[in-house]
Amino acid sequence: MDIHKEIDTRGLNCPLPILKAKKALAEMVTGQLLKVVATDTGSMRDFQAFARQTGNELVEQQTQGNEFIHILRRR
């Protein structure tokens, strides 16, 4: 997977990971991939809702230890 941008939101709680992702996506072009690394347990459902509401595609979510990885494709 060709990630175009990665942001680290470890230690931040809702809504900060979403806000940082929204800002990063605004700086990207259609089709590019954004990787978000978070430690907020609620981020799994938050990013699912964010993708539904914004039309950006949630390509993948995974848990690695106490970290949550979200891959979004810019609409």
Give 3-53 pLDDT, tens digit per residue: 999 999 999 999 999 999 999 999 999 999 999 999 999 999 999 999 999
38 is catalytic: no
Note the residue count of the chain: 75
Of residues 4, 7, 8, 14, which has the active-site annotation?
A: 14
What is the reported pTM?
0.96
Taking a C-beta distance cutoff of 8 angstroms, is the pair 2, 32 a contact? no
Confidence band, pLDDT 50/70/90 cuts, at residue 1: confident
Residue for token pair 């990063």: 24
